[in-house]
Structure 1
């Protein structure tokens, strides 16, 4: 069996030549995705938290995590903010009540947009 891998090799070479640009642009994509997930998580939480956890949606934030050669972000309730400590209970539930899965739904909603941006980046870098 044989396969034509010329385009794959061209893309790999383009990425190797544009590593710094790829890292810079990927950091932007990850940060934008984290912001979108945070905002959607807050919107989901406002709809599901009810009157007992009115401040909980405002505890959801994101922190960029420095990472050599890439980008990462931590998204979720900040336990130091009002009602942020309720995050585990509201998100995952208890033995008596199911969770809301606000963060999970936000992540799933962002996934197609995030993937599209990563694909667009690889296409742009492949053309450089």
Structure 2
């Protein structure tokens, strides 16, 4: 009995390219999610009379690490009213919290999961 298998070279080459595709696709998915969270958080906190510049201090950074891709989303302390981030989100003994980042993150979680899943599927095709 003889068994002939063809196409393995193409499969091996395709699988060899998968890590690079996965890294690129995951970065795209995380970037889209970070932008969505930033925009949602800005929307949630916009219009507060004492925080006119605060929504514009909310930014995001996406970077690749040795183990994956991560995003940092929140107020930039170098921007106007950015240092107020913890006070605004969590409140103080004299000011009620105005949750906007946490709810934005919670709302985006299903889309983030779906985006990473699509990135993995696309990398393996």
Show structure 1 runs of 4+ deviating over 4 A.
none
Q: Which has the larger radius of gyration?
A: 2
Unmatched 5+ stretches in structure 1: 1-12
Unmatched 5+ stretches in structure 2: 1-11
Higher-helix-fraction structure: 1
- When the two structures are superposed, what TM-score results if normalisation uses the length of structure 2? 0.80
Asked if the contact 2:27–2:62 (Cα under 8 Å) also holds between the matched residues in 1, the reply is no
Match for 1:109 among 107, 110, 114?
107
After superposition, where does 1:31-70 map in structure 2 within 5 Å?
A: 31-47=31-47, 50-70=48-68
How many Å apart are 1:119 and its aligned residue?
1.8
After superposition, where does 1:95-106 map in structure 2 within 5 Å?
A: 95-106=93-104
Distance 1:64 1:125, change over 3 A: closer
Equivalent pairs counted in the alignment come to 112
- When the two structures are superposed, what TM-score results if normalisation uses the length of structure 1? 0.78
